[in-house]
């Protein structure tokens, strides 16, 4: 049976059985659920030499999503992909992306002021425009762009494929060897539908950049940089095609991974502001004090906005966009706290449960950004920073962490500085009924998003019109 919103089920199990560590056995697989950060750190970081493997879901394998770095087994192939990704998104190197991030955060103001009922699409466009520009030097004018539609389809297909319990082939992997003529193979039909889409998503935009490089007209991008590096370092050798294949995977993964997770965090931020107007007003007061009314926020302002930073921390804790995390796999038998953890076990740091641990976050179901501030209004280092959980643990920590944080912070500051965010009305003029319900599987999204974006003042209107695109 498919488990809907499994993160809630996992937390309920921990509460019911009063145990920090739970063992589940499904056909052919041991699963270990962790509910404390301390256990996650001990196993996934301190013992990362044996807890960094992945068991690639059978459906991902059948869909031929070989570019997905997050789901690759721990191997030399994974390390090569990880190394290349880290080189381009290292914290010391991501300033080169800030101009694009700032431009699209400001473009969002014009889009949403013209059609606030489309706030969901505008938020996704903000993120997508950044990633496509950085990855492939591609400019989009709307979410009907061919590449955007393709990625959305692949994301939907992989979400269905990885929802726990969706396909029995995950529990009975031998089913994948059945002859195709045997009826009833819904898993095979699903995979076959998405194989050409996955291939097109990976190959087509990269191929377009290769052609542009050949013609001397390629726009600056990650793909262009890696293609030229391949030719400089390996041109005319067998290693050139190997490096280009690696580069193709990394650019596709960078786009696919960031498009969903960053958009989801941004949408949950908007939802929180509409649901908690007092928090919104406090953030706007801080923006007014630091920036003043006559200009938009810029990068130098962000470090002087502790309450806004606390809101981001609380959004990531309150609604983690990967609420069950990505399971690690242990590569040898291990023992911990008297428990035997068999080789090949999936070890899941259930982010939803970790973020609602009352010892770390009292009154965990409440939205309280102030929990992260000290008596002087600065970020309190004694409170566990949820970004140290949300991006994973050990050798599998997300290498795009700081790039993603920059995306969301500049979006938050820019939007709140000029708009009051409220529930609003949909395209049919009906009031939007907001809820905190999350939908999805590996990546969760809010079921509904606010559509009310009212300029805070005449000066704010002028700022919005000044960047309208």
Q: Residue by residue, what is the 3-state secondary structure of 101-117?
A: HHHHHHHHHHHHHHCHH
Considering Cα of 380, then 383, then 389, then 390, what sign does the dihedral take? negative
- The span from the CA of 81 to the CA of 298, in Å, is 33
Q: Using one digit for the tens of pLDDT, what is the confidence trace for 74-101? A: 999 999 999 999 888 988 889 999 999 9
Q: Measured on CA atoms in the order 288, 289, 293, 297, is the torsion positive or negative?
A: negative
- What are φ and ψ of residue 109, in 5° steps? -60, -45
**How far does CA 451 lie from the centroid of its chain?**
22
Place of tokens 């500049």: 410
Q: Which domains does the chain have, with CATH numbers?
A: 6-141+257-467 (1.10.630.10)
Cα separation values, 271 from 105, 122, 143, 404, 450, Å: 17, 14, 21, 19, 6
Q: b/e for 311-325, b at 16 or more Cβ within 10 A?
A: bbbbbbbbbbbbbbb
Alpha-carbon span 302 to 289, nearest angstrom: 13
Residue that has been written with the tokens 């919104």 in this structure: 280
Q: What's the Cα-to-Cα distance from 267 to each of 73, 295, 411, rounded to whole Å?
A: 31, 24, 10
With 0.85 as the threshold, say if the pTM is over it.
yes
Tell me what pLDDT residue 152 has. Answer: 82
Which one is predicted more confidently, 276 or 161?
A: 276
Query: Tens of pLDDT along 12-46?
Result: 888 888 888 989 888 778 999 999 999 999 999 99
How far, in Å, are 64, 105, 217, 350, 376 from residue 360 at the CA level? 40, 33, 53, 15, 20
Confidence check: pLDDT of 1 > 70: no
The angle formed by the CA atoms of residues 337, 171 and 33, to the nearest 5 degrees, is 25
pLDDT of residue 393: 95
Rounded to an integer, the average pLDDT of 118-135 is: 93
With vertex at residue 147, the alpha carbon angle to CA 142 and CA 151, rounded to the nearest 5 degrees, is 105
DSSP state of 346: E
Q: How many CB atoms lie within 10 A of CB 433?
A: 9
Q: Which tokens belong to 103? A: 């431009």
Considering only 213-217, 272-276, 409-413, which range has the smallest mean pLDDT? 213-217
Cβ-defined contacts of 16-21 (< 8 Å, 24+): 21/336, 21/337, 21/339
Binding residues: 398
Rg of the chain over all Cα atoms, to the nearest angstrom: 23
Please tell me the distance from the alpha carbon of residue 173 to that of residue 27, in angstroms, as a whole number: 10
- Alpha carbon distances (Å) from 379 to 30, 177, 410: 40, 54, 18
**What number is the average pLDDT over the span 223-242?**
92
Annotated binding-site members for heme: 398
Alpha carbons 343 and 345: distance in angstroms, whole number: 6
pLDDT at 4: 64
Cβ(35)–Cβ(21) below 8 Å: yes
Contact 441, 82 (CB under 8 A): no
Residue 241: pLDDT band (50, 70, 90) is very high
pLDDT score of 334: 96
Range with the lowest mean pLDDT among 52-66, 169-183, 287-301, 322-336?
169-183
Query: Are the CB atoms for 234 and 240 separated by under 8 Å?
Result: yes
Does residue 468 carry a pLDDT above 70? Answer: no
**pLDDT at position 6 over 90:** no
Strand partners, 420: 454
- What's the rounded mean pLDDT across residues 193-218? 93
Q: Is 5 left (phi over 0), alpha (psi -120 to 50) or beta?
A: left
The DSSP output letter for 63 is T
What is the CA angle 414-418-422, rounded to 5?
A: 100
Q: What is the mean pLDDT of residues 452-468?
A: 92
CA distances from 170 to 31, 193, 204, 272 (A): 13, 18, 30, 36
Q: How far is CA 409 from CA 208, 443, 456, in A?
A: 32, 20, 20
Of residues 184 and 384, the one with the higher pLDDT is 384
Query: How confident is the model at residue 298, as a pLDDT?
Result: 97
Q: Which of 277, 214, 263 is nearest to 420 (CA)?
A: 277
Mean pLDDT of the chain: 91
Decide if pLDDT at 146 tops 80: yes
Note the pLDDT of residue 169.
83
């Amino acid at each position: 049976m498919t488990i809907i919103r499994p993160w809630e089920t996992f937390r309920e199990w921990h509460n019911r059985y009063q145990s920090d560590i739970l063992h589940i056995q499904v056909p052919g697989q041991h699963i270990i659920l962790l509910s404390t950060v301390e256990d996650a750190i001990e196993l996934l970081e301190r013992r990362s030499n044996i807890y960094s493997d992945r068991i690639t879901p059978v459906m991902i394998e059948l869909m031929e999503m070989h570019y997905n770095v997050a789901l690759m087994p721990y191997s030399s192939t994974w390390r090569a992909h990880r190394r290349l990704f880290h080189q381009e998104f290292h914290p010391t190197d991501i300033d080169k992306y800030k101009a694009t991030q700032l431009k699209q955060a400001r473009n969002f103001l014009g889009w949403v002021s013209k059609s606030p009922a489309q706030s969901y699409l505008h938020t996704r466009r903000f993120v997508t425009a950044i990633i496509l520009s950085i990855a492939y030097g591609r400019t989009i004018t709307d979410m009907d762009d061919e590449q955007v539609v393709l990625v959305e389809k692949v994301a939907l297909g992989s979400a269905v494929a990885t929802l726990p319990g969706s396909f029995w082939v995950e529990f009975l992997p031998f089913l994948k060897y059945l002859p195709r003529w045997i009826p009833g193979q819904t898993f095979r039909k699903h995979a076959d539908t998405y194989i050409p889409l996955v291939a097109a998503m990976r190959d087509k935009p990269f191929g377009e950049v290769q052609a542009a490089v050949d013609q001397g007209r390629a726009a600056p991008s990650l793909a262009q940089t890696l293609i030229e590096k391949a030719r400089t370092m390996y041109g005319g050798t067998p290693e050139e095609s190997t490096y280009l294949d690696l580069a193709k995977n990394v650019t596709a993964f960078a786009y696919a991974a960031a498009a969903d997770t960053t958009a989801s965090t941004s949408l949950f931020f908007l939802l929180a502001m509409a649901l908690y107007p007092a928090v919104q007003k406090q953030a706007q007061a801080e923006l007014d004090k630091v920036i003043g009314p006559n200009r938009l926020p810029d990068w130098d302002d962000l470090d002087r906005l502790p309450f806004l930073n606390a809101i981001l921390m609380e959004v990531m804790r309150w609604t983690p966009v990967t609420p069950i995390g990505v399971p690690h796999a242990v590569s040898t038998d291990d023992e911990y706290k008297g428990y035997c953890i068999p080789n090949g076990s999936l070890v899941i740091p259930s982010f939803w449960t970790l973020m609602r641990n009352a010892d770390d976050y009292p009154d965990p179901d409440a939205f309280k950004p102030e929990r992260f501030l000290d008596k002087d209004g600065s970020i309190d280092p004694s409170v566990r920073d949820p970004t140290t959980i949300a991006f994973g643990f050990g050798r599998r920590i997300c290498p795009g962490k700081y790039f993603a944080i920059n995306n969301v912070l500049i979006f938050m500051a820019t939007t709140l500085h000029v708009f009051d965010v409220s529930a609003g009305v949909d395209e049919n003029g009906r009031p939007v009924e907001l809820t905190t319900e999350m939908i999805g599987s590996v990546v969760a999204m809010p079921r509904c998003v606010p559509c009310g974006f009212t300029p805070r003042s005449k000066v704010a209107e002028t700022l919005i019109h000044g960047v309208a695109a």
